[in-house]
Amino acid sequence: MGTKVTVVGGGSTYTPELVDSLCDHQDRISVDELVLLDPDTDRLEAVGGLTDRILRAKGWTGTLTTTSDRHRAIDGADFVVVQLRVGGQSARHSDETVPGGYGCLGQETTGPGGLAKALRTVPLVLEIAEETAERAAPAAWLVDFTNPVGIVTQALLDEGHRAVGLCNVAMLVQRRIGHYLGLDPDRVELEHVGLNHLTWARSATVDGVNRMPELLERYRAEFELETGIPAGLLRLLGALPSYYLHYYYCLDHNVAEQAAPGWRTRAEVVAELECELLDEYRDPNLITRPEKLSFRGGAFYSEAAVRLMASLGAGTGDIQVVDVRNDGALAELSDDAVVEVPCKVDATGAHPLPQRALPPDMAGLVAHCKAYERLAVEAAITGSRDTMIRALVANPLVGQYPRAEQLADALLAANRHWLPRFFPGER
Ligand code: G6P
């Protein structure tokens, strides 16, 4: 029997990449029904049109549907891929600018901006998960790409949903390392551990040999450029942190950079890029995804999604880095904490592999951020301003009071329209 995949937020400019990957991996996963669900019919028309042309050009014979009807989209689905963005780039712009007014970092997944995004997103993704449990195929999986992935997945798994969180960071790091070693990235086995957007590659093993010490020695300058983390710190850590850790390790520098005249938010840059992409997508002669799409940070996310769905569907038992319940993988965290680690993926789910004990600096930061993530989930579900303030105090990128309280009120004001749990009856 064929597979039905529903993409929630299917009007995203990323969709053509996902579709490309689905076609390229038909030997691993055979999808015969693809549904793009999006409330924005304009986008759906542009993205759906290109999607259809790509699929046909690649000889795909399945059914493609574009719809704004959630019930219809989720009915009988085997996989529900969630890649939505509540409030679009304008809400992201506020995540990236409001914190600056309080001397804090403006970023859409970490720090106060990430909390605002979590508050907008968690209730909606939970609604979609409930609908998936009711209407999708009995053993359907929800694959979450929606940021902040760590918090959204924590909320999903706390509520008992069949969900896996996914990010492209591990895949990007694996590709960079493959590039530096002149090897097929699939040969590099990464010891990638931590929480979503808070991970370190502690080793990179090829044919049984850990090449990380050699890589850190030879390519420290390149890694500094790619992650924004000073070479001196890379040496001390003896591991390759993800790009997102530069927001923690170099916080003052980042805040100052954002306060400099002429600074543009990533939301502004992406909004412009999206307009250009959508214009290109509307061209009836275009039958491949435009090069420009690779300027988005989520490149290769689709590769990760298709690999995950294929392994869950076929029960291959291969190793992939995903976001799941810890279940003992990191001894420093409780079993129900969602972590991002290598997992064995089979038909029953993604099972985290036990990891080495974390050194004190990594263990401390991970525990600190997990405490924040838990409060973020609670605030998003309850709509409690008090819990939101506690979450900000617990976030290492805020951590101070009364700043946390002022920031909470500013973020609530900026997001009022998107927070029905905080402002019931207003929408
Ligand atoms: C990275 C992250 C993703 C994030 C993306 C943003 O790849 O891993 O979680 O969504 O960057 O890219 P953008 O083009 O929207 O800035």
- pLDDT tens digit string along 125-182? 999 999 999 999 999 999 999 999 999 999 999 999 999 999 999 999 999 999 999 9
CA R_g for the chain: 21
In a domain, 78, yes or no: yes
In a domain, 358, yes or no: no
Pairing outcome for strands 141-144 and 31-37? unpaired
Task: Give me ligand 1 centre to Cα 174, in Å.
Answer: 16
Strand order in the sheet with 338-346: 63-67, 31-37, 3-8, 79-82, 141-144, 163-165, 318-325, 338-346, 349-352
Ligand 1 shell residues, CB under 6 Å:
147, 167-169, 266, 270, 296-298
pLDDT at 1: 62
Q: Indicate the residue among 297, 312, 327 that finishes a domain.
A: 312
Judgement on whether residues 295 and 412 belong to the same structural domain of the protein: no
Instruction: Judge whether residue 426 has pLDDT over 80.
Output: no
Instruction: Judge whether residue 263 has pLDDT over 70.
Output: yes
Element (DSSP H or E) covering residue 37: strand 31-37
Best mutation site among 168, 199, 266, 292 for ligand 1, i.e. most ligand atoms within 8 A of its Cβ?
Answer: 168
Judgement on whether residues 307 and 386 belong to the same structural domain of the protein: no
In a domain, 237, yes or no: no
Q: Which residues contact 46 (CB under 8 A, 6 or more apart)?
A: 11, 278, 281, 282
In a domain, 119, yes or no: yes
Determine the atom of ligand 1 nearest the C-alpha atom of 299: 7
Instruction: Judge whether residue 427 has pLDDT over 70.
Output: no
Determine the atom of ligand 1 nearest the C-alpha atom of 149: 9
- pLDDT tens digit string along 83-95? 999 999 999 999 9
| CATH (domain of 17) | 3.40.50.720
Pairing outcome for strands 141-144 and 79-82? parallel
Task: Give me ligand 1 centre to Cα 176, in Å.
Answer: 16
Judgement on whether residues 54 and 158 belong to the same structural domain of the protein: yes
Judgement on whether residues 277 and 381 belong to the same structural domain of the protein: no
* pTM, two decimal places: 0.98
In a domain, 49, yes or no: yes
Determine the atom of ligand 1 nearest the C-alpha atom of 297: 12
Domain count, the chain: 2
* Atom 16 of ligand 1: nearest residue by CA position: 297
Catalytic residues: 244
Judgement on whether residues 307 and 370 belong to the same structural domain of the protein: no
Judgement on whether residues 291 and 412 belong to the same structural domain of the protein: no
Cα 423-44-134 angle, rounded to 5 deg: 60
Q: Indicate the residue among 312, 328, 344 that finishes a domain.
A: 312
- pLDDT tens digit string along 179-236? 999 999 999 999 999 999 999 999 999 999 999 999 999 999 999 999 999 999 999 9
Judgement on whether residues 155 and 66 belong to the same structural domain of the protein: yes
- pLDDT tens digit string along 378-387? 999 999 999 9
Judgement on whether residues 143 and 43 belong to the same structural domain of the protein: yes
Judgement on whether residues 392 and 291 belong to the same structural domain of the protein: no
In a domain, 423, yes or no: no
Q: In the chain, what percentage of residues exceed pLDDT 90?
A: 96
Judgement on whether residues 159 and 272 belong to the same structural domain of the protein: yes
In a domain, 144, yes or no: yes
Instruction: Judge whether residue 2 has pLDDT over 90.
Output: no
Confidence of residue 299 (pLDDT cuts 50, 70, 90): confident
CA dihedral 193, 80, 176, 280 (to 10 degrees): -150
Instruction: Judge whether residue 273 has pLDDT over 80.
Output: yes
Query: Which three-class secondary structure state does DSSP give residue 427?
Result: coil
Task: Output the average pLDDT for the chain.
Answer: 97
Instruction: Judge whether residue 298 has pLDDT over 90.
Output: no
| Residue 137 belongs to domain spanning | 3-86+104-166+268-312
Cβ atoms 46, 54 nearer than 8 A:
no
Show the beta-strand stretches assigned E in 243-317: none
Q: Cα(238)–Cα(115) distance, rounded to whole angstroms?
A: 30
Q: Cα(364)–Cα(266) distance, rounded to whole angstroms?
A: 29
In a domain, 238, yes or no: no
Instruction: Judge whether residue 318 has pLDDT over 80.
Output: yes
Determine the atom of ligand 1 nearest the C-alpha atom of 266: 16
Task: Give me ligand 1 centre to Cα 263, in Å.
Answer: 19
Judgement on whether residues 278 and 378 belong to the same structural domain of the protein: no
Best mutation site among 147, 226, 227, 268 for ligand 1, i.e. most ligand atoms within 8 A of its Cβ?
Answer: 147
Distance set, CA 156 to CA 55, 350, 367 (Å): 32, 15, 20
Identify the residue with better confidence: 67 or 426. Answer: 67
Residue that is written with structure tokens 């029997």 in the block: 1
Task: Give me ligand 1 centre to Cα 385, in Å.
Answer: 28
Q: Which residues contact 7 (CB under 8 A, 6 or more apart)?
A: 15, 18, 34, 35, 36, 37, 81, 83
Task: Give me ligand 1 centre to Cα 147, in Å.
Answer: 9
The amino acid that residue 103 corresponds to is G
Cβ atoms 397, 197 nearer than 8 A:
no
Judgement on whether residues 28 and 151 belong to the same structural domain of the protein: yes
